[in-house]
Amino acid sequence: MDFDDQLRRYFGTADLAALTPSAMEAGVDRMRVDLGLEKDRGRRFALWALMHMLGVAPDLDVAFKDEADREAARNFMDLAGGLTPD
């Protein structure tokens, strides 16, 4: 699943600027539920990464039981923090 697919799944659109505050809140709620239910490490990480980019990700110790997953998330945060728009 790509980024736009994830946005459509949780928010009904790939255009976040078009969302009302209530639609954003509802999508974030769905993401939180799915994160809590997801057992596949890769899918869980991808969902957490999307949540991180939207500023709604839970703390690493809450999101990931495994230290390796927490370290991967820290690496992602470092890499994503270094991205700047051209």
pLDDT score of 6: 92
Question: Is 86 a domain residue?
Answer: no
Neighbours of 10 (CB within 10 A): 21
Question: Is 69 a domain residue?
Answer: yes
Question: Is 13 a domain residue?
Answer: yes
**How confident is the model over 10-65, as pLDDT tens digits?**
999 999 999 999 999 999 999 999 999 999 999 999 999 999 999 999 999 999 99
The whole domain housing 74 covers 3-81
Question: Is 58 a domain residue?
Answer: yes
User: pLDDT-derived band of residue 75, with 50, 70 and 90 as boundaries?
Assistant: very high
pTM for the model: 0.87
Domain count, the chain: 1
Among the listed residues 22, 68, 14, the one whose alpha carbon sits nearest the alpha carbon of residue 45: 68
Question: Is 20 a domain residue?
Answer: yes
